[in-house]
Amino acid sequence: MSLPLRCDASPVWAALQTHYRNHGAQFDVRQAFANDEQRFARWSFKAPELLADLSKNRIDDATLELLLALARDCGLEAQREAMFTGEPINLTEGRAVLHTALRAPAQASPVGAEVAASLQRMLAYADALRDPSSGITDVVHIGIGGSDLGPAMAVQALQPFVAPHLRLHFVSNVDGHDLFAVLRQLRPHSTQFVIASKTFTTQETLANALAARAWFVQRGGSDVARHFVATTSNVAAAAEFGISTTFGFWDWVGGRYSLWSVIGLPIAIAIGAQRFEELLAGARAMDEHFRRTPLRHNLPVLLGLLDVWYRNFHGYTSRSVAPYHQGLRRLPAYLQQLEMESNGKRVDREGHELSYATSPVVWGEAGTNGQHAYFQMLHQGTDVIPVEFIAVRQPYYGDAPQGELRQRLDDQHRKLLANCLAQSQALMQGKSTAQARGEAAPTASPTLDPDVLARHRSFPGNRPSTTLVLDQLTPRALGALIAMYEHRVFVSGALWGINSFDQWGVELGKALCNSLLPRFGSVDVAGLDASTAGLMRYLLDSSHSQA
Ligand SMILES: O=P(O)(O)OC[C@H]1O[C@H](O)[C@H](O)[C@@H](O)[C@@H]1O
């Protein structure tokens, strides 16, 4: 595939800038609803396992036409095909990007046979381990970044499906407090360790694995070979580490796209082979939707285009994700890696510096918790931050609660959904100072000018949001949701002309850490900048200790 057009080289880019100035900047969502009774119907989209309501966004047909024209100029469809067919689109690492092959039918991909064999071996192992006769009650998954966030997020999301006798623990941080807090709950003979690292060179993971092994042996554990397995694309390094049972995968699976591979082993142990296959099936359905649906009705495409519209024309710097489901509380952290590591780039594929912004900051918290923390800023702060609400229609608790408890939980679910809708409504509607002026404010000082108070109590409104709705948080629905996010990140990255699949920005800090570490032994600050030297001295000088 020849290099596609970069977005700012398309004449549509300049047309969008003009369109933003003349139209987009003044666009009022409230007015758009007043003008079009069908707005919800026209701006809601069905994709596998999902309904997405885009109607509360600052978008209309004229804007969408231009964004679609931009996508075509940037060769989005050809870029998408290049990914699905395994072209080496990750140019800086000389790799294909084929995580979609991990959930494709075996006959549909050139790597299908090896993928199927790897999956079957992993699932057989997972099912054997999750059988109570294995004697394993605790699984400790040690990995970081892409070798942690996906599995940790998914296991949490699918908690009601987890075998009741099993506890899954995720240890990622090099901070020993993370590991120790887990180890203190465990007994060696009933604990299984999974060491997950694509490269098997990651400092945090190797340090935690060594400490875990030390604990295991110290606490009288026997059969290290059985209790430690590895998931990695560097089987040789795992063997050198002393792990003989290894589940391997391929360099064409990016770390942050790897939960569908053997990196998903803890998910398979937690929910079992059949449900893991359902997770894959949900993702596969979304892949098909992304690959085959015309751009205008293609959910990841529409969301990716909206991201470009907001980031590059409205100038919004962040997007907040608010999953109204406690099981999805790690989704924002997962999405931070997916989106910011993929699209946090400042040069195009040919290394030319970009003149436009790329990845927004992605952040968030489960609803309703976020409402009581930072939603103040979303409603009344000086920045406009598009919010993405995720609602789940039906709760599912696993063991069906009965009687009054059931009624109360159902009532809580209605409250959860009402909160979710109310927040997007409030962001959009706002409240004028005139409205605020008319309201009683019993707590205000009697000497405060009512107009001043009304200005404090007013909301600008016209703040955009998207609402995604899942029917139930099942493995299939989760698979579709995550795959949707993967493809959406692909879309904005494709328009920006960047390589969404490398992560060179994490390397410098790692290299500097490796050179600083040996200096800690002797407090050797020679040649260091004054700040780093001063901090190192302070950290290592025990005379500051309060104890
Ligand atoms: O799976 P590993 O090779 O241990 O890598 C773990 C993580 O660390 C790296 O620094 C990258 O930033 C991530 O993309 C990766 O997922």
pLDDT of residue 3: 61
> Mutation test of ligand 1: which of 232, 502, 503 has the most ligand atoms closer than 8 Å to its C-beta?
503
Closest Cα to atom 8 of ligand 1 = 145
The DSSP call for residue 444 is: S
Neighbours of 61 (CB within 10 A): 10
Residue 510 to residue 517: CA distance in whole angstroms? 11
| Alpha-carbon distance values, 364 to 16, 108, 117, 283, 387 (Å) | 29, 37, 38, 23, 9
Residue type, 273: A
Ligand 1 centroid, distance to 323 Cα (angstroms): 25
pLDDT of residue 545: 66
Ligand 1 centroid, distance to 247 Cα (angstroms): 17
pLDDT of residue 547: 53
Q: Which atom of ligand 1 is nearest to the CA of 202?
A: 4
ipTM, two decimals, is 0.98
Residue type, 521: G
pLDDT of residue 546: 61
The one catalytic residue among 46, 352, 415, 510: 510
Closest Cα to atom 4 of ligand 1 = 197
Ligand 1 centroid, distance to 430 Cα (angstroms): 42
Residue 402 to residue 409: CA distance in whole angstroms? 10
CB-based contacts of 102: which residues, under 8 Å, 6+ apart?
115, 119, 253, 260, 261, 280
- Does the C-beta of 506 come closer than 6 Å to ligand 1? yes
pLDDT of residue 109: 86
Looking at the chain, how many residues does it have? 547
481 closest CA partner among 335, 381, 270:
335
Write out 31-79 in H/E/C secondary structure. HHHHHCCCHHHHCEEEECCEEEECCCCCCCHHHHHHHHHHHHHCCHHHH
Whether 341 sits among the annotated catalytic residues: the reply is yes
Residue 190 to residue 209: CA distance in whole angstroms? 17
- Does the C-beta of 167 come closer than 6 Å to ligand 1? no
- pLDDT per residue of the chain (547 residues) written in tens, 0 to 9: 456 789 999 999 999 999 999 999 999 999 999 999 999 999 999 999 999 999 999 999 999 999 999 999 999 999 999 999 999 999 999 999 999 999 999 988 889 999 999 999 999 999 999 999 999 999 999 999 999 999 999 999 999 999 999 999 999 999 999 999 999 999 999 999 999 999 999 999 999 999 999 999 999 999 999 999 999 999 999 999 999 999 999 999 999 999 999 999 999 999 999 999 999 999 999 999 999 999 999 999 999 999 999 999 999 999 999 999 999 999 999 999 999 999 999 999 999 999 999 999 999 999 999 999 999 999 999 999 999 999 999 999 998 889 999 999 999 999 999 999 999 999 999 999 999 998 876 777 888 899 999 999 999 999 999 999 999 999 999 999 999 999 999 999 999 999 999 999 999 999 999 999 999 999 999 999 999 999 999 999 887 766 5
- Does the C-beta of 172 come closer than 6 Å to ligand 1? no
> Mutation test of ligand 1: which of 147, 231, 253, 510 has the most ligand atoms closer than 8 Å to its C-beta?
147
pLDDT of residue 443: 73
> Mutation test of ligand 1: which of 93, 144, 170, 501 has the most ligand atoms closer than 8 Å to its C-beta?
144
| Alpha-carbon distance values, 367 to 33, 94, 416, 428 (Å) | 26, 41, 8, 18
pLDDT of residue 108: 87
